[in-house]
Structure 1
């Protein structure tokens, strides 16, 4: 099912949690809602599921007004971070549960339910777990069962709220690849919430970056990584080095910085801020360079170099250890950014857009 959201707003007391959300999702698409805690992504997911209602705006799915439908009428599959499996039921009964509680007119027969469960057990590669209880399963296995229960009702939308948040790093990586395969096979329109950039970029067809109740950017993962639309997105996707520069005729300039690798930008002359990733900075020993080395740490493959520059500018660069001769503390260097993103004005991390503090409100969860 395709989904369309227009000017959706939600307020908890005096706090605006969603501030005019506009979003269209195509049939069969897998979309990630990515953002820090308090950005509104879980509230948006709950409204789509029918577990919360907006103060204003519209939500249509397949051309139908879903704000007139109850959660049960929407027939969404919801997968939670902590599985929410019934501990007293075996795996096969957990998967079958959604089918057994459908209204009588929609409920399949017992043989049909058993066949659907068998198909899902095989599809999700958990055939051997059918007669186990949730307490006998690993975290990754429980999450597969939770997904099976969500898929059993043939949902119009599949919604996942931090589905891998409770799992260790290796299991998360394995399940991400597995979930992408499940999605491609089922072609169910899927929306999932995460604060993990790697997870969103690996899984999603498109990523919706949210901050402080607004959508900051929508796009393909590569587009967001290479071309963040705002300083908020730039910081969130890892452009953590910020350097003041001056724009002249579309080119950025700054003492001690070789900015020739950056493309010309259609920006007015004047102050600007260059956002970089530590790995995008080439460090060049230079007796006349305005930066000096204050710390060098090796991770084996990389050198993490801390640098101090003019105007109390402090930054960190990462370079492959074998590509740079040994650096001494206090050594002067110049810097060559290989890639970066320019925004008008000399911005400060303290004054840039930031998510609402989590203490101001809590996104409601089940």
Structure 2
């Protein structure tokens, strides 16, 4: 099912939550909505599910106007963070629930329901839990049952809202791999909400980064990491070195910065900011540079360095320990980045024009 969203807006008590969302989800795609709390991702998911209604905009699924349909008519599979299982029902009955409560004319026969449940128990690898109740299950097992209940109705679209947020890190990693396998077997168009970057990148075909009710960038993990579309995305991706620079003839210039490995851009002359990753910076000995090595720690695989620069600014630099050139505390070094993202400042001083820089 292809999902097309155009101009979607939503406010609560005059506070904008969604500010004109345009998004296309491809048939059979697993798409992640990634962003901090308050970015609007859960509200967007609930509108797709029919649990909230937009103030304006369009929501079309497989050519059909879903804003004209109730939640029940959309045949959505929804998995919540906290499972929402029926405690008095067994695992088997929980999975069968969506089928068994259909109107009589649309309800499958008992044999067909039992066959569907057996297939899902096998797919979810919980056959041995079929006759247990939710209280007898671990958190990870409960989340598998919740997904089974959502899949039982053969949903047109599967929606997951922070599905692993209540689980510990080790279980989340296992379930991410398992969910990706389930998605590939079922081929459902799937959207899931998360604030966990690792989760989004491991699971999704594409990631939608949201902030303050807007879509800021859509792409793969490599796209978002190497070419953030705006400073918000660069900072949200974490571990960023942010240098104030002057842009002259398409290059970033600053004391102690050697940008010769970066291509010339079309950025306008004037003040700007250069965003770098700690592992993309080489250090060149330079007694005239203001960047002084103040800390050096080995993790075994890497050297984690801290350099102190002009006006007390500290930046991290990561070098592979075995191949790194010798570096010494209190020595000064020129920064030579191999990849980064340059943003020119507008008149108000906010970074506005993204220029991708790559090796």
TM-score if structure 1 supplies the norm length? 0.91
**What does residue 360 of structure 1 align with?**
none
* 1:346–1:261 Cα change, 3 Å: farther
Q: Which residue does 1:5 correspond to in 2?
A: 5
* Length, aligned pairs only: 352
The one-character-per-residue Cα deviations of 1:310-366 (angstroms, maximum 9, x if unpaired) are 244321112223344665543222222121111112899x9679xxxxxxxxxxxxx
The whole-number CA distance in structure 2 between the counterparts of 1:273 and 1:152 is 51
Task: Indicate the residue corresponding to 1:59 in structure 2.
Answer: 59
Mapped contact 1:17–1:39 kept (Cα < 8 A): yes
Unaligned runs of 5+ in 1: 354-366
CA contact (8 A) 1:205 1:221 kept: no
Instruction: Give 1:340's aligned residue.
Output: 340
Query: Does residue 1:162 correspond to 2:162, yes or no?
Result: yes
Residue 54 of structure 1, CA deviation: 0.8
Please say if residues 281 and 337 of structure 1, whose CA atoms lie closer than 8 Å, have aligned partners that are also in contact: yes
Alignment of 1:83-232 (within 5 A): 83-232=83-232
Q: What does the per-residue CA deviation read over 1:96-121, in whole Å, with 9 as the maximum and x for residues that have no partner? A: 01111112221111111111100111
Paired with 1:351 and 1:306, the residues of 2 have a C-alpha distance of 27
CA distance in structure 2 between the partners assigned to 1:352 and 1:117 by the alignment: 53
Contact 1:273 1:347 in 2 (8 A): no
TM-score by length of 2: 0.92
SS in 2 for 1:322: coil
Contact kept, 8 Å, 1:296 with 1:304, in 2: the verdict is yes
Deviations 1:177-233 (A, max 9, x none): 111111111110000001111111111111111000000011233222221111111
CA-to-aligned-CA distance 1:265-288 (integer Å, 9 cap, x gap): 121122221101112222334333
Separation in 1, partners of 2:14, 2:278: 39
Offset, 1:161 = 0.5
Q: Is the 8 A contact 2:251 2:264 kept in 1?
A: yes
Equivalent residues of 2:291, 2:333 under 8 A apart: yes
What's the Cα RMSD here? 2.0
Which residue is 2:292 aligned to? 292
Q: Using the TM superposition, name which of 230-239 and 108-117 deviates more.
A: 230-239
The CA deviation string for residues 71-97 of structure 1, in whole angstroms up to 9 with x for no partner, is: 111110001111111122111111001
Evaluate the alpha carbon distance shift between residue 129 and residue 347 of structure 1 in structure 2; reply closer, same or farther with a 3 A threshold: farther
CA contact (8 A) 1:180 1:203 kept: yes
Partner deviation per Cα, 1:18-63 (whole Å, 9 max, x = no partner): 0001111111111110111100000000011011111111111111
Q: CA deviation at 1:238?
A: 2.5
Q: Distance in 1 between matches of 2:278 and 2:346?
A: 19
Query: 1 CA distance for matches of 2:147 and 2:112?
Result: 19
- Cα pair 1:306 1:317 within 8 Å, conserved: yes
Structure 1: how far apart are the matches of 2:51 and 2:184? 27
Structure 2 stretches of 5 or more lacking a match? Answer: 353-359
Q: 1:69 to 1:346 in 2, by over 3 A?
A: closer
Question: Residue 7 of structure 2 contacts residue 57 of structure 2 at CA under 8 Å; is this kept in 1?
Answer: yes
Moved more, 50-59 or 137-146: 137-146
Q: Retained in 1: the 8 A contact 2:4–2:61?
A: yes
Aligned to 1:317: 317
Helix, strand or coil at the partner of 1:60:
strand
